[in-house]
Amino acid sequence: MLRIRLLLLCVFLCWSPTISIIDDFNQLRITFRTWEQSIAMAKSFINQLTLEEKCHLTAGVGGTCAGNIASLVRVNFSGFCLQDTPSGVGDGVLYSTTFASGIHIAATWDRDLFYRRAVAIGKEFRGKGVHYAFGPMINIDRNARHGRNWEGFGSDPYLSGENAYFYTQGIQDQGVIATAKHYICNEQDTHRSGVMKGDNDPIVYSANLDDKTMHEIYLWPFASSVAAGVGSIMCSANEINETRACQNNKTQNDLLKGELGYLGNILTDWMGAKSTIDPILSGLDIDMPGTDGYMGDVLVKFVQNGSIPQSRIDDMVIRIIAPYYLVGQDQNYPTIDLDRNVMGNNYLINREISRAGMILLKNINNILPLNSSMNTNIYIYGQAAGQTNCGLEQTAWNTNCGGALYQGGGSGFVRPSYAIDPLTALMQKGRENHFQIRYITNQNDFVSINRTFHDRAFENVICLVFISAWSEEGIDRTDLYTFDNGEQLVLTVAENCYQTIVLVNSVSQLNLERWIDHPNVVGTIWTGMPGSEYGYALVDILFGDYNPGGKLVFSLAKNDSDFGTDISFIGDSNYTEGVFLDYRHFDKYNITPRYYFGYGLSYTNFSFNQLNISQVNNDDNQNSPSSIYKQRRIRLYNNFGYSGLYDPIYTITCIIKNIGKFYGSEVVQLYLNFPIEAQEPLKILRGFQRVYLEVNQSKQVALVLTRKDISYWNVINQQWIIAHGKYTVWISTSANNADIKLQGSFNI
Ligand SMILES: *[C@@H]1O[C@H](CO)[C@@H](O)[C@H](O)[C@H]1NC(C)=O
Ligand SMILES: *[C@@H]1O[C@H](CO)[C@@H](O)[C@H](O)[C@H]1NC(C)=O
Ligand SMILES: *[C@@H]1O[C@H](CO)[C@@H](O)[C@H](O)[C@H]1NC(C)=O
Ligand SMILES: *[C@@H]1O[C@H](CO)[C@@H](O)[C@H](O)[C@H]1NC(C)=O
Ligand SMILES: *[C@@H]1O[C@H](CO)[C@@H](O)[C@H](O)[C@H]1NC(C)=O
Ligand SMILES: *[C@@H]1O[C@H](CO)[C@@H](O)[C@H](O)[C@H]1NC(C)=O
Ligand SMILES: *[C@@H]1O[C@H](CO)[C@@H](O)[C@H](O)[C@H]1NC(C)=O
Ligand SMILES: *[C@@H]1O[C@H](CO)[C@@H](O)[C@H](O)[C@H]1NC(C)=O
Ligand SMILES: *[C@@H]1O[C@H](CO)[C@@H](O)[C@H](O)[C@H]1NC(C)=O
Ligand SMILES: *[C@@H]1O[C@H](CO)[C@@H](O)[C@H](O)[C@H]1NC(C)=O
Ligand SMILES: *[C@@H]1O[C@H](CO)[C@@H](O)[C@H](O)[C@H]1NC(C)=O
- Tell me the pLDDT band of 200, cut-offs 50, 70 and 90: low
What is the reported pLDDT for 618?
60
Which ligand has the shortest distance to the CA of 251?
A: 2
- Tell me the pLDDT band of 199, cut-offs 50, 70 and 90: low
Which ligand has the shortest distance to the CA of 308?
A: 4
For residue 506, the SS3 value is strand
Task: List the beta bridge partners of residue 72.
Answer: 77
- Ligand 7 atom nearest to 559, measured from its CA: 1
CA-nearest residue, atom 7 of ligand 4? 302
What does the alpha-carbon distance between residue 155 and residue 581 come to, in Å, rounded to a whole number?
A: 7
Lowest mean pLDDT among 133-147, 188-202, 696-710: 188-202
Fold of the domain built from segment(s) 36-326: TIM Barrel (3.20.20)
For residue 729, the SS3 value is strand
What is the reported pLDDT for 142?
98
Summarize pLDDT for 647-680 with one digit per residue, the tens.
889 999 999 999 999 999 999 999 999 999 999 9
Whether the predicted pLDDT of 16 surpasses 50: no
- Tell me the pLDDT band of 393, cut-offs 50, 70 and 90: confident
Q: Does residue 655's CB lie within 6 angstroms of at least one atom of ligand 10? A: no
Rounded to the nearest whole angstrom, what is the distance from the C-alpha of residue 424 to the centroid of ligand 3? 58
What does the alpha-carbon distance between residue 670 and residue 582 come to, in Å, rounded to a whole number?
A: 17
Whether the predicted pLDDT of 318 surpasses 70: yes
Nearest partner of 247 among 283, 295, 206, judged by Cα: 283
SS3 string of 623-670?
CCCCCHHHHHCCCCCCCCCCCCCCCEEEEEEEEEEECCCCCEEEEEEE
- Ligand 11 atom nearest to 695, measured from its CA: 13
8 Å CB contact between 534 and 555: no
What does the alpha-carbon distance between residue 274 and residue 229 come to, in Å, rounded to a whole number?
A: 28
Rounded to the nearest whole angstrom, what is the distance from the C-alpha of residue 594 to the centroid of ligand 5? 33
Q: How far is CA 222 from CA 102, 216, 251, 689, in A?
A: 15, 11, 11, 21
Identify the DSSP state of 360: E
8 Å CB contact between 168 and 229: yes
What does the alpha-carbon distance between residue 114 and residue 108 come to, in Å, rounded to a whole number?
A: 8
Nearest partner of 82 among 134, 126, 120, judged by Cα: 134
What lies within 8 Å, CB to CB, of 683 at 6+ separation is 583, 584, 587, 671, 672, 673, 730, 735
Between CA 557 and CA 563, with CA 562 as vertex, the angle to 5 degrees is: 80
Mean pLDDT value across residues 672-699: 98
What lies within 8 Å, CB to CB, of 210 at 6+ separation is 575, 578, 715
Answer with the residue of higher pLDDT: 21 or 689: 689
Rounded to the nearest whole angstrom, what is the distance from the C-alpha of residue 273 to the centroid of ligand 3? 19
Task: List the beta bridge partners of residue 658.
Answer: 606
What does the alpha-carbon distance between residue 216 and residue 663 come to, in Å, rounded to a whole number?
A: 37
Rounded to the nearest whole angstrom, what is the distance from the C-alpha of residue 448 to the centroid of ligand 6? 10
Task: List the beta bridge partners of residue 409.
Answer: 472
Q: Does residue 304's CB lie within 6 angstroms of at least one atom of ligand 4? A: no
What is the reported pLDDT for 632?
60
Cβ neighbours around 50 below 10 Å, total: 12
Whether the predicted pLDDT of 630 surpasses 70: no
What does the alpha-carbon distance between residue 410 and residue 474 come to, in Å, rounded to a whole number?
A: 7
What does the alpha-carbon distance between residue 76 and residue 28 come to, in Å, rounded to a whole number?
A: 23
CA-nearest residue, atom 9 of ligand 7? 559
- Ligand 9 atom nearest to 605, measured from its CA: 1
8 Å CB contact between 409 and 471: yes
What is the reported pLDDT for 510?
98
Q: Does residue 258's CB lie within 6 angstroms of at least one atom of ligand 3? A: yes
CA-nearest residue, atom 2 of ligand 4? 302
Relative orientation angle of helices 422-433 and 534-542, to the nearest 10 degrees? 50
Summarize pLDDT for 18-59 with one digit per residue, the tens.
333 345 667 888 999 999 999 999 999 999 999 999 999 999
- Which residues of the chain does CATH 2.60.40.10 include? 604-747
What is the reported pLDDT for 24?
64
Rounded to the nearest whole angstrom, what is the distance from the C-alpha of residue 561 to the centroid of ligand 7? 7
Mean pLDDT value across residues 502-524: 98
Q: Does residue 294's CB lie within 6 angstroms of at least one atom of ligand 4? A: no
What does the alpha-carbon distance between residue 331 and residue 333 come to, in Å, rounded to a whole number?
A: 6
Q: Does residue 34's CB lie within 6 angstroms of at least one atom of ligand 3? A: no
Which ligand has the shortest distance to the CA of 612?
A: 10
- Report the relative pairing of strands 711-714 and 521-526 from DSSP bridges: unpaired
604-747 classified as CATH 4.10.640.10:
no
What is the reported pLDDT for 399?
78
CA-nearest residue, atom 14 of ligand 6? 447
What lies within 8 Å, CB to CB, of 341 at 6+ separation is 94, 95
What is the reported pLDDT for 623?
42
| Strand intervals (E) in 138-238 | 177-183, 206-208, 232-235
- Which residues of the chain does CATH 3.20.20.300 include? 36-326
Q: Does residue 302's CB lie within 6 angstroms of at least one atom of ligand 4? A: yes
CA-nearest residue, atom 3 of ligand 11? 696
Mean pLDDT value across residues 383-388: 97
CA-nearest residue, atom 3 of ligand 6? 492
User: What stretch of H or E contains 569?
Assistant: none
Whether the predicted pLDDT of 631 surpasses 80: no
What does the alpha-carbon distance between residue 435 and residue 256 come to, in Å, rounded to a whole number?
A: 57
CA-nearest residue, atom 11 of ligand 3? 249
For residue 562, the SS3 value is helix
For residue 699, the SS3 value is strand
For residue 181, the SS3 value is strand
Share of the chain above pLDDT 90, in %: 89
Rounded to the nearest whole angstrom, what is the distance from the C-alpha of residue 215 to the centroid of ligand 3? 18
Which ligand has the shortest distance to the CA of 303?
A: 4
Catalytically annotated residue among 269, 287, 292, 421: 269
Number of H helices and E strands in the chain, helices first, is: 19, 25
Residue 142's φ and ψ, nearest 5 degrees, are -85, -35
Rounded to the nearest whole angstrom, what is the distance from the C-alpha of residue 685 to the centroid of ligand 10? 24
8 Å CB contact between 106 and 157: no
8 Å CB contact between 353 and 120: no
Q: Does residue 208's CB lie within 6 angstroms of at least one atom of ligand 8? A: yes
Summarize pLDDT for 254-281 with one digit per residue, the tens.
999 999 999 999 999 999 999 999 999 9
For residue 707, the SS3 value is coil
For residue 189, the SS3 value is coil
What does the alpha-carbon distance between residue 417 and residue 392 come to, in Å, rounded to a whole number?
A: 8
What is the reported pLDDT for 7?
34
Q: Is 269 a catalytic residue?
A: yes
What does the alpha-carbon distance between residue 317 and residue 304 come to, in Å, rounded to a whole number?
A: 17
8 Å CB contact between 540 and 355: yes
Which ligand has the shortest distance to the CA of 13?
A: 10
What does the alpha-carbon distance between residue 165 and residue 114 come to, in Å, rounded to a whole number?
A: 9
For residue 362, the SS3 value is strand
- Calculated CA dihedral for residues 579, 583, 589, 593, nearest 10 degrees: 150
- Which residues of the chain does CATH 3.40.50.1700 include? 346-553
Q: Residue 527: which region, alpha, beta or left (left: phi > 0; alpha: psi -120 to 50)?
A: alpha
Rounded to the nearest whole angstrom, what is the distance from the C-alpha of residue 7 to the centroid of ligand 10? 9
Identify the DSSP state of 734: S
Mean pLDDT of the chain: 93
8 Å CB contact between 579 and 212: yes
Which of 601, 605, 608, 693 for a ligand 9 pocket mutation test, highest count of atoms within 8 Å of Cβ?
605
Q: Does residue 561's CB lie within 6 angstroms of at least one atom of ligand 7? A: yes
Q: Does residue 646's CB lie within 6 angstroms of at least one atom of ligand 4? A: no
- Tell me the pLDDT band of 619, cut-offs 50, 70 and 90: low
Considering the domain delimited by 346-553, tell me its CATH architecture: 3-Layer(aba) Sandwich (3.40)
Q: Is the dihedral of CA 398, 403, 405, 411 positive or negative?
A: negative
- Tell me the pLDDT band of 17, cut-offs 50, 70 and 90: very low
Whether the predicted pLDDT of 624 surpasses 70: no
Rounded to the nearest whole angstrom, what is the distance from the C-alpha of residue 697 to the centroid of ligand 11? 10
Question: Amino acid identity, residue 449?
Answer: I
What lies within 8 Å, CB to CB, of 374 at 6+ separation is none
